[in-house]
């Protein structure tokens, strides 16, 4: 049950007293109050009473173990090797008794690196696990694996477990539990022993984060009502609450000189609707070595348009010679589907708009050393980040477009 402990009278704290720099970046301009009514969070507690266990409950988790593939071991992978029309290795499909494993080669070095491994259940045809490898070619002939993410999916296609590795070392492991009406519970553990439980309720738009020390003691419980901006933080020592802070994130004055909501470059590209059968269009066709359609190139008044397909028959890319490039991702590592629209800007930069099927979207503009991104969450709130020659800016807006957090 989500019902934060309240054994002490709330104490009024200053802006400087309420900062959790070890967990979050500083939160300036927060308005605190000694007596705030947590109606949204109380509603979250009542709604999830049957779904949420005690806040002190932890879960022992075993990390997912990545498949390590070296340039030398690629030739030993069993299965059908699929080449594109240029003779470049695209993927290897290993059909086993109970599952099919698909190895997607890294486009930057297809003979020596694998960028993705997907596992499918042969009986249901559903995707059950994904491993994403982020490789860096550098100046060496053999690419180096920098980061690896592994995700297991449940029968509904939702993430049930995830592990993250950086330069071969485990960074974190997460397990997910789901309830009715969008309730989600995320357990997270890191190798140093610290762990947390994040509970999310979409109905009340509220969250509760419980953080533990490496010896299993509660450090603090942070409960937020995202609709009102109200928050409650209970700090613990030796298992007992020692301080409670109630407050509310109120709109603050924007003194940064930056207004991303009025930036025309950050206006999302128009949503794309595929209103035709891409395999039925006219044009020059190319095929993979397994006979599957690889691409169709069509000459139009506006230049060449290329439709690229994956070996499984799904549409992968639409590339317009004098326009946008659209990338389709039907099996994301977070269990969602999305598509990305990439446009070239007159100044030589690129603008990338991503639409996710969970209702969120983002716009990223990159030009040389300068990069900025505006993320639209499905609840209406927005997050802005900017990086320009080593200077970083971070801003959060509520669903009314009002600034509630800003720092650099």
pLDDT digits (tens, 9 = 90+) for 258-267: 999 999 999 9
Q: What pLDDT score does 138 carry?
A: 60
Looking up tokens 């599957």 gives 292
CB 211 within 8 A of CB 196: yes
Q: Is the pLDDT at 288 greater than 90, yes or no?
A: yes
Structure tokens given for 190? 């890191």
Q: What pLDDT score does 291 carry?
A: 97
319-345, pLDDT tens digit by residue? 998 889 999 998 887 778 999 999 999
Q: What pLDDT score does 305 carry?
A: 97
d(CA 139, CA 16): 47
d(CA 385, CA 25): 13
Residue with more model confidence, 19 or 294: 294
Q: Assign 31 a pLDDT band (cuts: 50, 70, 90).
A: very low
Q: What pLDDT score does 57 carry?
A: 65
Q: Which H or E run includes 209?
A: strand 206-212
Residue with more model confidence, 323 or 383: 383
Instruction: List the single range of 25-34, 108-117, 168-177 with lowest mean pLDDT.
Output: 25-34
d(CA 293, CA 290): 9
Residue percentage of the chain with pLDDT more than 70: 85
**297 phi and psi, to 5 degrees?**
-105, 125
Q: What pLDDT score does 331 carry?
A: 81
214-259, pLDDT tens digit by residue? 888 999 999 999 888 899 999 999 889 999 999 988 899 999 889 9
157-216, pLDDT tens digit by residue? 999 999 999 999 999 999 999 999 889 999 999 988 889 999 999 889 899 999 999 888
Q: Assign 139 a pLDDT band (cuts: 50, 70, 90).
A: low
Q: Is the pLDDT at 11 greater than 50, yes or no?
A: no
Q: Is the pLDDT at 50 greater than 50, yes or no?
A: no
| Eight-class DSSP state of 268 | P
Residue with more model confidence, 365 or 378: 365
Q: What pLDDT score does 154 carry?
A: 95
Q: Assign 49 a pLDDT band (cuts: 50, 70, 90).
A: very low
Looking up tokens 């029968």 gives 155
For residue 354, list its beta bridge partners: 340, 362
What is the mean pLDDT of the segment spanning 53-80? Answer: 84
Structure tokens given for 343? 């446009």
- SS3 string, the chain, reads CCCCCCCCCCCCCCCCCCCCCCCCCCCCCCEECCCCCCHHHHHHHHHCCCCCCCCCCCCCCCCCCCCCCCCCCHHHCCCEEEECCCCCEEEEEEECCCEEEEEEECCCCCCCCEEEEEEEECCCCCEEEEEEEEEECCCCCCCEEEEEEEEEECCCCCEEEEEEEECCEEEEEEEEEECHHHCEEEEEECCCCCEEEEEEECCCCEEEEEEECCCCCEEEEEEEECCCCEEEEEEEECCEEEEEEEEECCCCCCCCCCCHHHCHHHCCCCCCCCCCCHHHCCCEEEECCCCCEEEEEEEECCEEEEEEECCCCCEEEEEECCCCEEEEECCCCCCCCEEEEEEECCCCCEEEEEEECCCCEEEEEEECCEEEEEEECCCCCEEEEEEECCEEEEEEECCCCCEEEEEC
Predicted TM-score (pTM) of the model is 0.81
Average pLDDT of the chain to the nearest whole number? 85
């Amino acid at each position: 049950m989500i019902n934060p402990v309240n054994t002490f009278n709330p104490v009024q704290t200053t802006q400087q007293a309420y900062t959790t720099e070890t967990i979050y970046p500083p939160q300036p301009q927060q308005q605190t109050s000694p007596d705030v009514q947590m109606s949204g969070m109380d509603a979250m507690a009542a709604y999830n009473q049957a779904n949420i266990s005690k806040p002190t409950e932890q879960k022992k988790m075993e990390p997912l173990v990545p498949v390590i593939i070296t340039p030398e071991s690629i030739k030993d992978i069993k299965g059908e090797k699929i080449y594109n029309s240029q003779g470049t290795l695209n993927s290897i499909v290993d059909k086993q008794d109970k599952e099919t494993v698909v190895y997607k080669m890294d486009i930057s070095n297809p003979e020596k690196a694998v960028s993705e491994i997907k596992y499918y259940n042969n009986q249901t045809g559903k995707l059950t696990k994904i491993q994403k490898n982020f490789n860096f070619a550098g100046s060496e002939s053999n690419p180096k694996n920098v980061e690896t993410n592994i995700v297991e999916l449940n029968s509904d296609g939702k993430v049930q477990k995830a592990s993250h590795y950086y330069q071969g070392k485990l960074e974190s492991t997460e397990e997910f539990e789901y309830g009715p009406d969008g309730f989600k519970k995320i357990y997270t553990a890191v190798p140093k022993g610290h762990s947390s439980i994040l509970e999310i309720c979409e109905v009340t738009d509220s969250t509760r984060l419980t953080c533990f020390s490496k010896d299993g003691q509660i450090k603090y419980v942070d409960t937020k009502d995202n609709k009102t901006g109200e928050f409650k933080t209970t700090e613990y020592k030796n298992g007992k609450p020692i301080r409670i802070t109630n407050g509310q994130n109120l709109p603050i004055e924007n003194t940064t000189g930056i207004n991303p909501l009025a930036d025309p470059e950050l206006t999302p590209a128009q949503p794309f609707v595929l209103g035709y059968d891409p395999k039925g269009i006219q044009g020059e066709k190319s095929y993979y070595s397994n006979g599957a359609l690889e691409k169709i190139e069509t000459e139009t008044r506006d230049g060449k348009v290329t439709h690229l397909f994956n070996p499984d028959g799904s549409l992968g890319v639409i590339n317009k010679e004098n326009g946008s490039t659209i990338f389709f991702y039907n099996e994301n590592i977070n269990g969602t589907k999305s598509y990305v629209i990439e446009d070239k800007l007159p100044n030589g930069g690129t603008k990338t708009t991503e639409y996710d099927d969970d209702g969120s979207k983002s716009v990223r503009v990159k030009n040389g050393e300068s990069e900025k991104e505006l993320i639209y969450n499905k609840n209406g709130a927005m997050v802005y980040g900017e990086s320009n020659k080593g200077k970083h800016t971070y801003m959060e807006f509520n669903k009314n477009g009002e600034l509630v957090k800003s720092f650099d």
